Structure 1
Protein backbone atom coordinates (compact mmCIF):
# COMPACT_ATOMS: atom_id res chain seq x y z
CA UNK A 1 0.00 0.00 0.00
CA UNK A 2 1.35 3.44 -0.91
CA UNK A 3 2.28 5.72 1.96
CA UNK A 4 0.36 8.99 2.02
CA UNK A 5 2.07 12.21 3.07
CA UNK A 6 -0.52 14.92 3.51
CA UNK A 7 -0.34 17.84 1.10
CA UNK A 8 -1.02 21.55 1.73
CA UNK A 9 -4.70 22.36 2.27
CA UNK A 10 -6.44 24.06 -0.62
CA UNK A 11 -6.89 27.30 1.37
CA UNK A 12 -3.12 27.75 1.71
CA UNK A 13 -2.90 26.34 5.23
CA UNK A 14 -0.81 23.35 6.19
CA UNK A 15 -1.71 19.97 7.53
CA UNK A 16 0.39 17.69 9.69
CA UNK A 17 3.52 16.75 7.72
CA UNK A 18 3.79 19.96 5.71
CA UNK A 19 6.13 22.24 7.71
CA UNK A 20 6.87 24.92 5.12
CA UNK A 21 5.59 28.29 6.33
CA UNK A 22 4.62 26.92 9.75
CA UNK A 23 4.87 29.81 12.31
CA UNK A 24 5.90 27.24 14.92
CA UNK A 25 8.67 25.76 12.73
CA UNK A 26 11.33 27.13 15.10
CA UNK A 27 9.99 24.70 17.71
CA UNK A 28 10.77 21.50 15.90
CA UNK A 29 8.53 18.55 16.67
CA UNK A 30 11.21 15.87 16.36
CA UNK A 31 8.68 13.05 16.46
CA UNK A 32 6.84 14.61 13.53
CA UNK A 33 10.12 15.09 11.65
CA UNK A 34 11.03 11.45 12.24
CA UNK A 35 7.61 10.35 11.03
CA UNK A 36 7.83 12.41 7.84
CA UNK A 37 11.34 11.14 7.14
CA UNK A 38 10.16 7.57 7.67
CA UNK A 39 7.21 8.04 5.33
CA UNK A 40 9.40 9.60 2.64
CA UNK A 41 11.81 6.68 2.94
CA UNK A 42 8.94 4.36 2.03
CA UNK A 43 7.85 6.23 -1.09
CA UNK A 44 8.62 4.51 -4.39
CA UNK A 45 10.14 6.31 -7.37
CA UNK A 46 6.80 7.35 -8.92
CA UNK A 47 5.41 8.62 -5.63
CA UNK A 48 8.45 10.70 -4.73
CA UNK A 49 8.58 12.16 -8.25
CA UNK A 50 4.96 13.31 -7.93
CA UNK A 51 5.66 14.96 -4.55
CA UNK A 52 8.66 16.82 -5.97
CA UNK A 53 6.75 17.92 -9.07
CA UNK A 54 3.97 19.25 -6.83
CA UNK A 55 6.52 21.39 -4.97
CA UNK A 56 8.42 22.50 -8.06
CA UNK A 57 11.47 20.41 -7.15
CA UNK A 58 13.93 18.70 -9.50
CA UNK A 59 12.67 15.15 -10.12
CA UNK A 60 15.76 13.84 -11.93
CA UNK A 61 17.93 11.29 -10.17
CA UNK A 62 17.84 8.00 -8.31
CA UNK A 63 15.19 7.29 -5.69
CA UNK A 64 17.74 7.91 -2.89
CA UNK A 65 18.54 11.35 -4.31
CA UNK A 66 14.88 12.23 -4.82
CA UNK A 67 13.90 11.18 -1.30
CA UNK A 68 16.63 13.39 0.16
CA UNK A 69 15.54 16.28 -2.06
CA UNK A 70 11.94 15.91 -0.88
CA UNK A 71 13.04 15.88 2.77
CA UNK A 72 14.93 19.13 2.24
CA UNK A 73 11.74 20.70 0.91
CA UNK A 74 9.43 19.35 3.59
CA UNK A 75 11.37 19.16 6.84
CA UNK A 76 12.53 22.42 8.43
CA UNK A 77 15.48 21.03 10.36
CA UNK A 78 17.06 19.57 7.23
CA UNK A 79 18.60 23.00 6.54
CA UNK A 80 22.39 23.07 6.40
CA UNK A 81 24.39 24.15 9.42
CA UNK A 82 26.61 27.06 8.36
CA UNK A 83 29.51 25.26 10.02
CA UNK A 84 29.07 22.16 7.87
CA UNK A 85 30.13 23.80 4.61
CA UNK A 86 33.24 25.85 3.84
CA UNK A 87 33.51 28.90 1.60
CA UNK A 88 35.95 27.25 -0.80
CA UNK A 89 36.79 23.77 -2.06
CA UNK A 90 39.68 22.64 -4.25
CA UNK A 91 38.88 19.59 -6.37
CA UNK A 92 41.87 17.38 -7.18
CA UNK A 93 42.19 14.41 -9.51
CA UNK A 94 45.73 13.31 -10.34
CA UNK A 95 46.75 11.05 -13.20
CA UNK A 96 49.88 9.00 -12.62
CA UNK A 97 52.24 6.63 -14.41
CA UNK A 98 50.96 3.06 -14.43
CA UNK A 99 51.48 -0.40 -15.88
CA UNK A 100 48.83 -2.79 -17.15
CA UNK A 101 49.93 -5.45 -14.68
CA UNK A 102 49.57 -4.14 -11.14
CA UNK A 103 52.62 -4.25 -8.88
CA UNK A 104 52.62 -3.18 -5.23
CA UNK A 105 56.13 -1.76 -5.48
CA UNK A 106 55.54 0.27 -8.64
CA UNK A 107 56.44 3.95 -8.00
CA UNK A 108 53.45 5.86 -9.39
CA UNK A 109 54.46 9.37 -10.47
CA UNK A 110 51.95 12.15 -11.04
CA UNK A 111 51.89 13.22 -14.68
CA UNK A 112 48.76 15.42 -14.66
CA UNK A 113 48.08 17.86 -11.83
CA UNK A 114 44.64 19.52 -12.13
CA UNK A 115 42.86 21.55 -9.43
CA UNK A 116 39.54 23.43 -9.56
CA UNK A 117 38.59 26.17 -7.11
CA UNK A 118 34.91 26.10 -6.12
CA UNK A 119 33.23 29.14 -4.53
CA UNK A 120 30.35 27.94 -2.35
CA UNK A 121 28.48 31.25 -2.39
CA UNK A 122 28.72 31.62 -6.15
CA UNK A 123 28.21 27.87 -6.63
CA UNK A 124 30.63 27.71 -9.51
CA UNK A 125 34.21 27.00 -10.54
CA UNK A 126 36.05 30.32 -10.18
CA UNK A 127 39.58 29.27 -11.18
CA UNK A 128 41.66 26.30 -12.21
CA UNK A 129 45.26 25.10 -11.96
CA UNK A 130 46.38 22.60 -14.57
CA UNK A 131 49.91 21.40 -15.33
CA UNK A 132 51.61 18.23 -16.49
CA UNK A 133 54.59 16.70 -14.68
CA UNK A 134 57.69 15.02 -16.06
CA UNK A 135 58.21 11.62 -14.40
CA UNK A 136 61.79 10.99 -13.29
CA UNK A 137 61.91 7.41 -12.01
CA UNK A 138 60.11 5.97 -15.05
CA UNK A 139 60.38 8.76 -17.64
CA UNK A 140 59.02 6.61 -20.48
CA UNK A 141 55.25 6.11 -20.28
CA UNK A 142 53.87 2.64 -20.84
CA UNK A 143 51.60 2.09 -23.82
CA UNK A 144 48.86 1.21 -21.33
CA UNK A 145 49.30 4.53 -19.48
CA UNK A 146 49.19 6.60 -22.66
CA UNK A 147 46.08 4.81 -23.85
CA UNK A 148 44.35 5.12 -20.46
CA UNK A 149 45.11 8.79 -19.76
CA UNK A 150 45.48 10.18 -23.27
CA UNK A 151 48.77 11.78 -22.18
CA UNK A 152 51.50 11.55 -24.80
CA UNK A 153 55.21 10.97 -24.25
CA UNK A 154 55.96 14.35 -25.79
CA UNK A 155 53.60 16.03 -23.31
CA UNK A 156 55.51 14.76 -20.27
CA UNK A 157 58.95 15.14 -21.88
CA UNK A 158 58.38 18.89 -22.19
CA UNK A 159 56.74 19.24 -18.76
CA UNK A 160 58.40 20.35 -15.52
CA UNK A 161 59.20 17.88 -12.71
CA UNK A 162 56.78 17.33 -9.83
CA UNK A 163 58.60 19.51 -7.28
CA UNK A 164 58.44 22.53 -9.62
CA UNK A 165 54.75 21.97 -10.36
CA UNK A 166 54.04 21.57 -6.64
CA UNK A 167 55.76 24.90 -5.95
CA UNK A 168 53.62 26.59 -8.60
CA UNK A 169 50.51 24.97 -7.13
CA UNK A 170 51.45 26.38 -3.73
CA UNK A 171 51.78 29.83 -5.34
CA UNK A 172 48.32 29.38 -6.88
CA UNK A 173 46.86 28.61 -3.44
CA UNK A 174 48.68 31.65 -2.04
CA UNK A 175 47.24 33.86 -4.80
CA UNK A 176 43.75 32.96 -3.56
CA UNK A 177 44.82 33.43 0.09
CA UNK A 178 43.91 29.87 0.94
CA UNK A 179 47.28 29.21 2.60
CA UNK A 180 50.07 31.30 4.12
CA UNK A 181 50.11 34.20 6.56
CA UNK A 182 47.44 36.13 4.63
CA UNK A 183 45.07 33.18 4.62
CA UNK A 184 41.51 34.52 4.54
CA UNK A 185 39.40 31.41 4.98
CA UNK A 186 39.34 27.70 5.59
CA UNK A 187 39.04 25.43 2.59
CA UNK A 188 39.17 21.71 1.93
CA UNK A 189 40.47 19.51 -0.85
CA UNK A 190 37.95 17.21 -2.51
CA UNK A 191 38.92 13.93 -4.16
CA UNK A 192 37.21 10.90 -5.63
CA UNK A 193 38.50 8.31 -3.17
CA UNK A 194 41.64 8.25 -0.98
CA UNK A 195 44.35 7.34 -3.51
CA UNK A 196 45.08 10.82 -4.88
CA UNK A 197 46.64 11.95 -1.61
CA UNK A 198 47.40 8.77 0.33
CA UNK A 199 49.07 7.05 -2.63
CA UNK A 200 50.05 9.36 -5.48
CA UNK A 201 50.72 12.65 -3.70
CA UNK A 202 52.54 11.29 -0.68
CA UNK A 203 54.54 8.95 -2.92
CA UNK A 204 55.63 11.78 -5.18
CA UNK A 205 56.65 13.98 -2.27
CA UNK A 206 58.90 11.15 -1.05
CA UNK A 207 60.36 10.52 -4.51
CA UNK A 208 61.05 14.23 -5.01
CA UNK A 209 62.38 14.59 -1.45
CA UNK A 210 60.03 17.50 -0.68
CA UNK A 211 58.17 17.95 2.63
CA UNK A 212 54.51 17.07 2.71
CA UNK A 213 52.51 20.34 2.90
CA UNK A 214 50.56 20.45 6.19
CA UNK A 215 47.39 21.69 4.48
CA UNK A 216 47.17 18.46 2.45
CA UNK A 217 46.78 16.07 5.39
CA UNK A 218 42.96 16.16 5.44
CA UNK A 219 40.48 16.09 2.58
CA UNK A 220 36.91 15.25 1.63
CA UNK A 221 36.41 11.88 -0.02
CA UNK A 222 33.35 12.81 -2.08
CA UNK A 223 32.27 9.18 -2.29
CA UNK A 224 31.84 9.07 1.49
CA UNK A 225 30.13 12.51 1.61
CA UNK A 226 27.75 11.45 -1.18
CA UNK A 227 26.96 8.12 0.49
CA UNK A 228 26.29 9.76 3.87
CA UNK A 229 24.07 12.48 2.40
CA UNK A 230 21.89 10.27 0.22
CA UNK A 231 22.11 7.18 2.43
CA UNK A 232 23.23 4.94 -0.40
CA UNK A 233 26.14 2.56 -0.93
CA UNK A 234 29.45 4.33 -1.62
CA UNK A 235 29.41 4.82 -5.41
CA UNK A 236 32.13 5.39 -8.01
CA UNK A 237 32.40 8.64 -9.97
CA UNK A 238 30.21 7.23 -12.73
CA UNK A 239 27.81 5.88 -10.08
CA UNK A 240 27.43 9.30 -8.44
CA UNK A 241 26.71 10.91 -11.80
CA UNK A 242 24.16 8.20 -12.55
CA UNK A 243 22.45 8.78 -9.18
CA UNK A 244 22.09 12.47 -10.12
CA UNK A 245 20.92 11.69 -13.69
CA UNK A 246 24.05 13.34 -15.09
CA UNK A 247 26.27 12.12 -17.92
CA UNK A 248 30.05 12.16 -17.78
CA UNK A 249 31.42 15.15 -19.69
CA UNK A 250 34.77 14.70 -21.43
CA UNK A 251 36.96 11.61 -21.29
CA UNK A 252 37.37 9.34 -18.23
CA UNK A 253 40.91 9.18 -16.77
CA UNK A 254 41.77 12.61 -18.12
CA UNK A 255 42.57 14.41 -14.89
CA UNK A 256 41.01 17.77 -15.72
CA UNK A 257 37.85 16.11 -17.07
CA UNK A 258 37.52 13.85 -14.03
CA UNK A 259 38.00 16.90 -11.78
CA UNK A 260 35.28 18.84 -13.61
CA UNK A 261 32.83 15.97 -13.20
CA UNK A 262 33.68 15.69 -9.49
CA UNK A 263 33.03 19.44 -9.26
CA UNK A 264 29.60 18.99 -10.86
CA UNK A 265 28.71 16.47 -8.17
CA UNK A 266 30.13 18.71 -5.45
CA UNK A 267 28.03 21.66 -6.63
CA UNK A 268 24.88 19.53 -6.39
CA UNK A 269 25.83 18.51 -2.84
CA UNK A 270 26.44 22.16 -1.95
CA UNK A 271 23.07 23.22 -3.33
CA UNK A 272 21.32 20.35 -1.57
CA UNK A 273 22.76 21.35 1.80
CA UNK A 274 25.04 18.35 2.32
CA UNK A 275 27.57 18.36 5.15
CA UNK A 276 30.93 18.92 3.44
CA UNK A 277 33.81 18.87 5.92
CA UNK A 278 37.02 16.81 5.76
CA UNK A 279 36.13 13.17 6.36
CA UNK A 280 39.50 11.46 5.83
CA UNK A 281 43.13 12.02 6.73
CA UNK A 282 46.28 10.06 6.00
CA UNK A 283 49.51 9.36 7.86
CA UNK A 284 53.07 9.78 6.62
CA UNK A 285 53.04 6.08 5.77
CA UNK A 286 49.94 6.47 3.60
CA UNK A 287 47.43 4.86 5.96
CA UNK A 288 43.95 6.38 5.63
CA UNK A 289 41.79 7.19 8.65
CA UNK A 290 38.15 8.27 8.74
CA UNK A 291 37.38 11.52 10.54
Structure 2
Protein backbone atom coordinates (compact mmCIF):
# COMPACT_ATOMS: atom_id res chain seq x y z
CA UNK A 1 0.00 0.00 0.00
CA UNK A 2 1.22 3.50 -0.83
CA UNK A 3 2.59 5.60 2.01
CA UNK A 4 0.91 8.72 0.58
CA UNK A 5 -1.71 9.65 -1.99
CA UNK A 6 -1.62 12.81 -4.09
CA UNK A 7 -5.13 13.65 -5.28
CA UNK A 8 -5.05 16.16 -8.13
CA UNK A 9 -7.74 17.91 -10.13
CA UNK A 10 -7.10 20.36 -12.96
CA UNK A 11 -9.28 22.88 -14.73
CA UNK A 12 -8.41 24.04 -18.22
CA UNK A 13 -9.49 26.59 -20.80
CA UNK A 14 -12.41 25.43 -22.92
CA UNK A 15 -14.66 26.71 -25.66
CA UNK A 16 -18.05 25.88 -27.14
CA UNK A 17 -18.85 24.99 -29.88
CA UNK A 18 -15.83 22.65 -29.89
CA UNK A 19 -12.77 23.68 -31.89
CA UNK A 20 -10.57 20.75 -32.83
CA UNK A 21 -7.48 22.94 -33.02
CA UNK A 22 -8.11 24.23 -29.47
CA UNK A 23 -5.13 24.01 -27.10
CA UNK A 24 -6.42 23.47 -23.53
CA UNK A 25 -4.30 25.31 -20.95
CA UNK A 26 -4.38 24.57 -17.25
CA UNK A 27 -5.91 27.51 -15.36
CA UNK A 28 -6.40 25.99 -11.91
CA UNK A 29 -4.62 23.32 -9.88
CA UNK A 30 -6.17 21.70 -6.82
CA UNK A 31 -4.24 19.03 -4.92
CA UNK A 32 -4.50 17.19 -1.61
CA UNK A 33 -1.92 14.98 0.09
CA UNK A 34 -3.27 12.07 2.14
CA UNK A 35 -1.57 9.49 4.29
CA UNK A 36 -2.24 5.77 3.77
CA UNK A 37 -5.31 5.98 6.03
CA UNK A 38 -6.71 8.82 3.89
CA UNK A 39 -6.10 11.48 6.53
CA UNK A 40 -5.36 14.86 4.95
CA UNK A 41 -1.84 16.18 5.39
CA UNK A 42 -1.93 19.31 3.24
CA UNK A 43 -3.70 20.96 0.32
CA UNK A 44 -2.67 23.22 -2.57
CA UNK A 45 -4.67 25.52 -4.82
CA UNK A 46 -3.57 28.14 -7.32
CA UNK A 47 -4.89 29.74 -10.48
CA UNK A 48 -2.72 29.77 -13.61
CA UNK A 49 -2.47 32.46 -16.28
CA UNK A 50 -3.13 31.06 -19.80
CA UNK A 51 -0.84 32.22 -22.61
CA UNK A 52 -2.15 30.83 -25.90
CA UNK A 53 -5.74 31.95 -25.26
CA UNK A 54 -5.44 34.46 -22.42
CA UNK A 55 -9.08 35.58 -22.55
CA UNK A 56 -11.48 33.00 -21.13
CA UNK A 57 -14.47 32.15 -23.30
CA UNK A 58 -18.00 32.87 -22.02
CA UNK A 59 -18.56 29.09 -21.90
CA UNK A 60 -15.44 28.62 -19.74
CA UNK A 61 -16.40 31.45 -17.39
CA UNK A 62 -19.86 29.97 -16.88
CA UNK A 63 -18.79 26.34 -16.54
CA UNK A 64 -15.84 26.79 -14.19
CA UNK A 65 -16.94 29.88 -12.28
CA UNK A 66 -13.37 31.18 -12.61
CA UNK A 67 -13.15 34.88 -13.40
CA UNK A 68 -10.92 36.66 -15.88
CA UNK A 69 -9.32 38.50 -12.95
CA UNK A 70 -8.49 35.17 -11.26
CA UNK A 71 -6.27 34.10 -14.14
CA UNK A 72 -4.93 37.55 -15.07
CA UNK A 73 -3.62 38.00 -11.52
CA UNK A 74 -2.00 34.55 -11.52
CA UNK A 75 1.45 33.39 -12.62
CA UNK A 76 2.02 31.29 -15.72
CA UNK A 77 2.22 27.52 -15.45
CA UNK A 78 6.00 27.06 -14.96
CA UNK A 79 5.99 29.25 -11.83
CA UNK A 80 2.84 27.70 -10.34
CA UNK A 81 4.03 24.19 -11.18
CA UNK A 82 7.36 24.92 -9.52
CA UNK A 83 5.61 25.99 -6.33
CA UNK A 84 3.49 22.86 -6.41
CA UNK A 85 6.61 20.68 -6.68
CA UNK A 86 8.15 22.51 -3.73
CA UNK A 87 4.94 21.96 -1.76
CA UNK A 88 5.01 18.26 -2.59
CA UNK A 89 8.62 17.89 -1.49
CA UNK A 90 7.98 19.90 1.69
CA UNK A 91 5.32 17.33 2.54
CA UNK A 92 7.75 14.41 2.06
CA UNK A 93 6.68 13.26 -1.38
CA UNK A 94 9.57 11.85 -3.42
CA UNK A 95 9.38 12.90 -7.06
CA UNK A 96 11.93 10.43 -8.45
CA UNK A 97 11.38 6.93 -9.84
CA UNK A 98 11.47 5.83 -6.17
CA UNK A 99 8.36 7.85 -5.44
CA UNK A 100 6.53 7.03 -2.21
CA UNK A 101 3.06 8.11 -3.31
CA UNK A 102 0.33 7.28 -5.78
CA UNK A 103 -1.24 9.97 -7.93
CA UNK A 104 -5.05 9.78 -7.85
CA UNK A 105 -7.22 11.42 -10.52
CA UNK A 106 -10.86 11.45 -11.60
CA UNK A 107 -10.40 9.72 -14.94
CA UNK A 108 -7.65 9.77 -17.54
CA UNK A 109 -7.94 13.30 -18.97
CA UNK A 110 -5.86 15.19 -16.39
CA UNK A 111 -2.72 13.19 -17.15
CA UNK A 112 -3.21 12.27 -20.79
CA UNK A 113 -4.59 15.58 -21.98
CA UNK A 114 -4.12 18.52 -19.62
CA UNK A 115 -0.69 17.81 -18.11
CA UNK A 116 0.66 16.46 -21.40
CA UNK A 117 -0.51 19.44 -23.46
CA UNK A 118 0.51 22.01 -20.85
CA UNK A 119 4.03 20.59 -20.57
CA UNK A 120 4.32 20.76 -24.35
CA UNK A 121 3.12 24.37 -24.44
CA UNK A 122 5.40 25.38 -21.54
CA UNK A 123 8.46 23.51 -22.81
CA UNK A 124 8.60 21.26 -19.74
CA UNK A 125 9.35 17.58 -19.45
CA UNK A 126 6.35 15.44 -18.56
CA UNK A 127 6.68 14.51 -14.85
CA UNK A 128 7.77 10.93 -14.21
CA UNK A 129 5.47 10.73 -11.18
CA UNK A 130 2.39 11.25 -13.38
CA UNK A 131 3.14 8.55 -15.97
CA UNK A 132 1.33 5.94 -13.85
CA UNK A 133 -1.69 6.88 -11.78
CA UNK A 134 -4.77 5.69 -9.94
CA UNK A 135 -8.04 6.32 -11.82
CA UNK A 136 -10.79 6.61 -9.20
CA UNK A 137 -13.48 5.84 -11.80
CA UNK A 138 -11.97 2.40 -12.46
CA UNK A 139 -11.54 1.74 -8.75
CA UNK A 140 -15.19 2.66 -8.16
CA UNK A 141 -16.41 0.21 -10.79
CA UNK A 142 -14.16 -2.57 -9.52
CA UNK A 143 -14.86 -2.06 -5.81
CA UNK A 144 -18.64 -1.91 -6.30
CA UNK A 145 -18.75 -4.47 -9.13
CA UNK A 146 -20.76 -2.10 -11.30
CA UNK A 147 -20.74 -1.06 -14.95
CA UNK A 148 -22.82 1.24 -17.14
CA UNK A 149 -24.74 -0.43 -19.94
CA UNK A 150 -23.58 2.23 -22.42
CA UNK A 151 -19.91 1.71 -21.51
CA UNK A 152 -19.39 5.24 -20.25
CA UNK A 153 -17.57 5.95 -17.00
CA UNK A 154 -19.30 7.25 -13.88
CA UNK A 155 -19.34 10.98 -13.14
CA UNK A 156 -18.45 12.41 -9.75
CA UNK A 157 -22.10 13.08 -8.98
CA UNK A 158 -23.06 9.50 -9.89
CA UNK A 159 -20.29 8.04 -7.73
CA UNK A 160 -21.17 10.18 -4.72
CA UNK A 161 -24.88 9.40 -5.09
CA UNK A 162 -24.18 5.66 -5.22
CA UNK A 163 -21.97 5.90 -2.15
CA UNK A 164 -24.42 8.10 -0.27
CA UNK A 165 -21.98 11.00 -0.09
CA UNK A 166 -22.98 14.65 0.02
CA UNK A 167 -21.62 16.83 -2.77
CA UNK A 168 -20.02 19.95 -1.27
CA UNK A 169 -18.35 22.93 -2.90
CA UNK A 170 -18.44 24.10 -6.52
CA UNK A 171 -18.33 21.41 -9.20
CA UNK A 172 -15.63 22.06 -11.82
CA UNK A 173 -13.40 23.89 -9.37
CA UNK A 174 -10.08 22.13 -8.88
CA UNK A 175 -9.72 21.95 -5.10
CA UNK A 176 -13.42 21.27 -4.53
CA UNK A 177 -13.32 18.43 -7.07
CA UNK A 178 -10.18 17.01 -5.45
CA UNK A 179 -12.02 17.02 -2.11
CA UNK A 180 -14.89 15.10 -3.70
CA UNK A 181 -12.42 12.48 -4.97
CA UNK A 182 -11.13 12.12 -1.41
CA UNK A 183 -14.72 11.58 -0.22
CA UNK A 184 -15.19 8.92 -2.89
CA UNK A 185 -11.99 7.17 -1.76
CA UNK A 186 -13.26 7.16 1.83
CA UNK A 187 -16.68 5.92 0.66
CA UNK A 188 -15.04 3.01 -1.18
CA UNK A 189 -12.96 2.20 1.91
CA UNK A 190 -16.14 2.04 3.99
CA UNK A 191 -17.48 -0.64 1.64
CA UNK A 192 -14.16 -2.36 0.99
CA UNK A 193 -12.05 -2.12 4.13
CA UNK A 194 -8.39 -1.55 3.35
CA UNK A 195 -8.96 -0.96 -0.39
CA UNK A 196 -5.50 -0.11 -1.73
CA UNK A 197 -6.12 2.37 -4.62
CA UNK A 198 -3.11 0.98 -6.44
CA UNK A 199 -1.97 2.31 -9.81
CA UNK A 200 -4.41 1.13 -12.47
CA UNK A 201 -3.71 3.46 -15.41
CA UNK A 202 -0.75 4.49 -17.54
CA UNK A 203 0.03 7.47 -19.73
CA UNK A 204 -1.09 6.56 -23.25
CA UNK A 205 1.67 6.90 -25.84
CA UNK A 206 -0.71 7.38 -28.77
CA UNK A 207 -3.02 9.95 -27.16
CA UNK A 208 -4.41 12.77 -29.29
CA UNK A 209 -6.33 15.76 -27.97
CA UNK A 210 -9.85 14.63 -27.15
CA UNK A 211 -12.88 16.86 -26.79
CA UNK A 212 -15.97 16.15 -24.72
CA UNK A 213 -19.28 15.56 -26.51
Q: TM-score, normalised by structure 2?
A: 0.88
Q: CA deviation at 1:177?
A: 2.2
1:256 matched to 2:175: yes
1:86 matched to 2:8: no
**Which one has the largest radius of gyration?**
1
SS at match of 1:160: coil
SS at match of 1:134: coil
Which one of the candidate residues 119, 131, 135 is aligned to 2:46?
Answer: 131
The gaps in structure 1 that reach 5 residues or longer are 1-84
1:112 matched to 2:31: no
SS at match of 2:41: strand
Deviations along 1:168-217, whole A, 9 cap, x unmatched? 11111111221257x7x621111111001100110000000111111110
The gaps in structure 2 that reach 5 residues or longer are 148-152, 209-213
Instruction: Provide the C-alpha distance between the structure 1 equivalents of 2:95 and 2:119, rounded to a whole number of angstroms.
Output: 20
Aligned in 2, Cα 1:94/1:180: closer, same or farther, shift over 3 Å? Answer: closer
Q: How many residues align?
A: 200
Which one of the candidate residues 184, 199, 211 is aligned to 1:278?
Answer: 199
Aligned residues of 2:94 and 2:101 also touching (Cα < 8 A):
no
Which one of the candidate residues 149, 159, 164 is aligned to 1:245?
Answer: 164
| 2:61 corresponds to | 146
Alignment of 1:140-289 (within 5 A): 140-180=55-95, 186-233=100-147, 234-271=153-190, 272-286=193-207
Q: CA RMSD in A?
A: 1.6
Instruction: Provide the C-alpha distance between the structure 1 equivalents of 2:207 and 2:78, rounded to a whole number of angstroms.
Output: 19
Higher relative contact order (CA 8 A, sep 6+): 2
